[in-house]
A and B are shown apart, each in its own frame.
Chain A
């Protein structure tokens, strides 16, 4: 595929944090591609580095103590990593919008919703206050907030959680960005509100041609929203591919474990499976595969050599994909087409 088919392409990103306990390697060599007009879901348990990955792209991790040690990210043809703050500000909010997990705290409590949304329009599109106000009303209407003329002048504490997340979405798409990053947008919301918000995102995607990165730990949300999926574990992408690849042809034991841990309607699957153990300490990541200690299929090689990425569009970082490996429950990829 050609580069311009991708809205966003991230290669070999690595992020570290200095903490009082030492250096945490939060993101270790992460690569993914976001297809235009599609949704890429980044899945993983908490602490696996999925939020850090996207926040570092946006320059939102605190630096110091954080720093990007390696990698590149291209929005269309423009590099995001290591550019000047002013250049980044011209991209943030305009070409990439972002929504966050907790809408209650993500908006300035002492500023009206209208002014917070209008601010982006004024800064990025140079609109006058009155023009911005008219536009904000449109945006609020678009995100299905009732009585936008009245809501505009209210403060965040006067909104419900779901309404706030709608306002957040209105804010993030105000400048018609190419990419929308949604960092666990529904985690803090009621289930019924979750469904509405996801529906809204889908509608906006089809009407605005948005490319969405959706960060979540909820495989239900992934199944519903995603076209592509990247599964992250211990700061790495362990498996990536089309949504069906991930769900029906899982090529990594961790993905298999996640699926087994997911509630299901299947009467034969009464008990939820858990993945034993806990993720490795990222102060000192293990030399081999990060999942080896928790993996039922672990081999000697897994313990001391990091696995390469096998596969092409459907990739997995797992030694089980090696031709030398014994048969295992994971779906075998076309080993001969090893990625390089």
Chain B
């Protein structure tokens, strides 16, 4: 330090030019919303949830433009199918056309046991419509038992699903039409003399091909000639228990769920603003009475009354039940936002800067727009963001217990309710609507968190 000063010259000690920027504010001044937006942009989680919300809205609004499958179209041949990207299918003749194969019943030679079936063969193409099996008669057989397995049997006991048995000894064929999927099956045919089964059977591995019948092809406007190859519609999310496309239903359900989830909060917050504004602005006895009413409404057990309202409104046949639910949500949810607005107004009225502005002669209108609105908007926005997932949850909960929108209108909750019945065999029917509910609620919750952090002026001053 001291060494340094020896290198200084007299010129260094000449008066400095007067500082022009002593009063300069080093960091740029930001408005409330600019600052909040900057903070939100810094919050990666909140920002990605904002994108997610936008993506979900686009999915809902634009999705049906691109995914044109009818969400009400039932296809009983495609019940509870897993996700698939469409597939080519063979057009085959209608199942009723086959008469089967008949042969002669052979007597059992003395002292011999029932032998194994021989010459087990598939007639025609093995398809998902039917697998037609025939075989040679076994001496002494009264009828035949047909089993189907989805893996190669490793023992005589492991034959899989008993499909059925033939009724007469001459019947030497069987058509399997039981929920066939395009895969390999192992069929086993065992002869029986009516009392005991043969010790061994013959197993045949059959790989089925996806197919539709000519009648079905005609119904769908596809080429209906036997042997033609047609393209079946894709079901990226699979189909439900009535064979309806889950993706199309998810999109339509999103409209219902998001409509309720967004419109109901907008409505009850608007009511809350007016109600709370009146309470906060006028004060006095009116305020006390109005707020007491609001307190009572808050004390009502929310979900119970949602159910009661739904019963009370009563929905007739053909109605979706969306409107009663919306009304019930609004009727039961407004008080909390009214309370919030009133509290904010009372608090702000007491703030020194508002009193200062009033002393300086600011008019009420100016006060409301310059001080009140910006201060109330933040908490309102945060409340709105948290009210949306809450409403979506409520819708899902009610639809799940059958007290929400009524079938056939799809909503995510109603779809989950339907999906839970087939959860064990085809979990995708529950998985997809559940995933979308969770994703939406998650996105709005994270966005709400981010907004709250971004708008919290307490935090702002602390950093």
State if A and B touch, Cβ cutoff 8 Å.
yes
Stretch of A104-112, A146-154, A170-178, A301-309 that contacts chain B: A301-309
Chain A residues with CB under 8 Å of B13's CB are: 299-301, 319, 322, 324-326
Within 8 A of B (CB), among A9-64: 19-21
Cβ of B16 and Cβ of A294 under 8 Å apart? no
CA distance A312 to B348 in the complex (A): 54
Cβ of B463 and Cβ of A300 under 8 Å apart? no
A-B contact pairs, 23 of them (CB 8 A): A20-B42, A21-B463, A276-B23, A277-B19, A277-B22, A277-B23, A281-B26, A292-B16, A292-B19, A293-B19, A297-B15, A298-B16, A299-B14, A300-B11, A300-B13, A301-B12, A301-B13, A309-B1, A324-B8, A324-B12, A326-B13, A338-B2, A340-B2
At the interface, yes or no: B4 with Cβ under 8 Å from chain A? Answer: yes
Cβ of B463 and Cβ of A298 under 8 Å apart? no
Given known pairs A276-B22, A300-B11, A324-B10, the reply for A308 and B16 (CB within 8 Å) is: no
At the interface, yes or no: B425 with Cβ under 8 Å from chain A? Answer: no
Cβ of B21 and Cβ of A293 under 8 Å apart? yes
Closest to A275 in B: B22
Cβ of A298 and Cβ of B15 under 8 Å apart? yes
At the interface, yes or no: B112 with Cβ under 8 Å from chain A? Answer: no
Chain A residues with CB under 8 Å of B21's CB are: 293
At the interface, yes or no: B364 with Cβ under 8 Å from chain A? Answer: no
Cβ of B26 and Cβ of A305 under 8 Å apart? no
At the interface, yes or no: B27 with Cβ under 8 Å from chain A? Answer: yes
CA distance A309 to B2 in the complex (A): 9
Chain B residues with CB under 8 Å of A325's CB are: 13
Interface SS majority for chain A: loop
CA distance A297 to B16 in the complex (A): 8
Binding site for B on A (CB under 8 A): 19-21, 276-278, 280-281, 283, 292-294, 297-303, 305, 308-309, 319, 322, 324-326, 338, 340
Cβ of A299 and Cβ of B12 under 8 Å apart? yes
Given known pairs A281-B27, A299-B12, the reply for A293 and B42 (CB within 8 Å) is: no
At the interface, yes or no: B110 with Cβ under 8 Å from chain A? Answer: no
CA distance A165 to B2 in the complex (A): 45
Chain B residues with CB under 8 Å of A300's CB are: 11-16
Cβ of A19 and Cβ of B26 under 8 Å apart? no
Proximity bits, B1-44, A CB within 8 Å = 1, else 0: 11011001111111110010111011100000000000000100
CB distance from B36 to the nearest CB of A (A): 14
Cβ of B12 and Cβ of A340 under 8 Å apart? no
Cβ of B11 and Cβ of A294 under 8 Å apart? no
Given known pairs A21-B463, A281-B27, A324-B10, the reply for A299 and B15 (CB within 8 Å) is: yes
Chain B residues with CB under 8 Å of A309's CB are: 1
Chain A residues with CB under 8 Å of B23's CB are: 276-278
Pick the residue among B4, B5, B16, B42 that contacts A299 (CB under 8 A): B16
Cβ of A302 and Cβ of B16 under 8 Å apart? yes
Chain A residues with CB under 8 Å of B19's CB are: 277, 292-294, 298
Binding site for A on B (CB under 8 A): 1-2, 4-5, 8-16, 19, 21-23, 25-27, 42, 463
Extra inter-chain contacts (17) besides given A293-B21, A324-B10, A326-B13, CB under 8 Å: A277-B19, A277-B22, A278-B25, A280-B26, A281-B27, A283-B26, A294-B19, A299-B12, A300-B12, A300-B13, A300-B14, A300-B16, A302-B16, A305-B4, A308-B4, A319-B13, A326-B15
Cβ of A322 and Cβ of B463 under 8 Å apart? no
> Which of A294, A324, A325 counts the most chain B CB atoms within 10 A?
A324
Closest to B10 in A: A324
CB distance from B331 to the nearest CB of A (A): 40
CB distance from A163 to the nearest CB of B (A): 27
CB distance from A37 to the nearest CB of B (A): 32
Interface SS majority for chain B: loop
CA distance A338 to B5 in the complex (A): 11
Pick the residue among B12, B22, B27 that contacts A293 (CB under 8 A): B22
Chain B residues with CB under 8 Å of A326's CB are: 13, 15
CA distance A19 to B463 in the complex (A): 7
CB distance from A250 to the nearest CB of B (A): 20
Chain A residues with CB under 8 Å of B14's CB are: 299-300
CA distance A308 to B7 in the complex (A): 13
Chain A residues with CB under 8 Å of B463's CB are: 19-21
CA distance A70 to B25 in the complex (A): 30
Chain A residues with CB under 8 Å of B15's CB are: 297-300, 326
Chain A residues with CB under 8 Å of B25's CB are: 278
CB distance from B201 to the nearest CB of A (A): 74
CB distance from A285 to the nearest CB of B (A): 11
CA distance A95 to B16 in the complex (A): 48
Chain A residues with CB under 8 Å of B5's CB are: 308, 322, 324
CA distance A322 to B12 in the complex (A): 11
Chain B residues with CB under 8 Å of A302's CB are: 16
CA distance A338 to B22 in the complex (A): 30
CA distance A303 to B14 in the complex (A): 12
Given known pairs A20-B42, A281-B27, A324-B8, the reply for A340 and B16 (CB within 8 Å) is: no
Chain B residues with CB under 8 Å of A293's CB are: 19, 21-22
CA distance A338 to B4 in the complex (A): 13
CB distance from A137 to the nearest CB of B (A): 39
CA distance A300 to B13 in the complex (A): 6
Chain A residues with CB under 8 Å of B4's CB are: 305, 308
Closest to B19 in A: A293
CA distance A324 to B8 in the complex (A): 9
Closest to A303 in B: B16
Closest to A308 in B: B1
Chain B residues with CB under 8 Å of A303's CB are: 16
> Which of B5, B21, B42 counts the most chain A CB atoms within 10 A?
B5
Chain A residues with CB under 8 Å of B27's CB are: 21, 281
CA distance A46 to B5 in the complex (A): 31
Chain B residues with CB under 8 Å of A276's CB are: 22-23
CA distance A301 to B7 in the complex (A): 11
Chain A residues with CB under 8 Å of B11's CB are: 300
CA distance A112 to B252 in the complex (A): 61
CA distance A21 to B42 in the complex (A): 11
CB distance from B455 to the nearest CB of A (A): 16
CB distance from A28 to the nearest CB of B (A): 14
CA distance A278 to B12 in the complex (A): 25
CA distance A308 to B8 in the complex (A): 13
CA distance A331 to B9 in the complex (A): 22
Closest to A20 in B: B463
CB distance from B150 to the nearest CB of A (A): 59
> Which of A20, A281, A293, A338 counts the most chain B CB atoms within 10 A?
A293
Chain B residues with CB under 8 Å of A19's CB are: 463
Closest to B9 in A: A324
CA distance A325 to B12 in the complex (A): 9
CA distance A294 to B9 in the complex (A): 23
CA distance A305 to B8 in the complex (A): 10
Chain A residues with CB under 8 Å of B8's CB are: 301, 305, 322, 324
Closest to A320 in B: B13
Chain B residues with CB under 8 Å of A305's CB are: 4, 8, 12
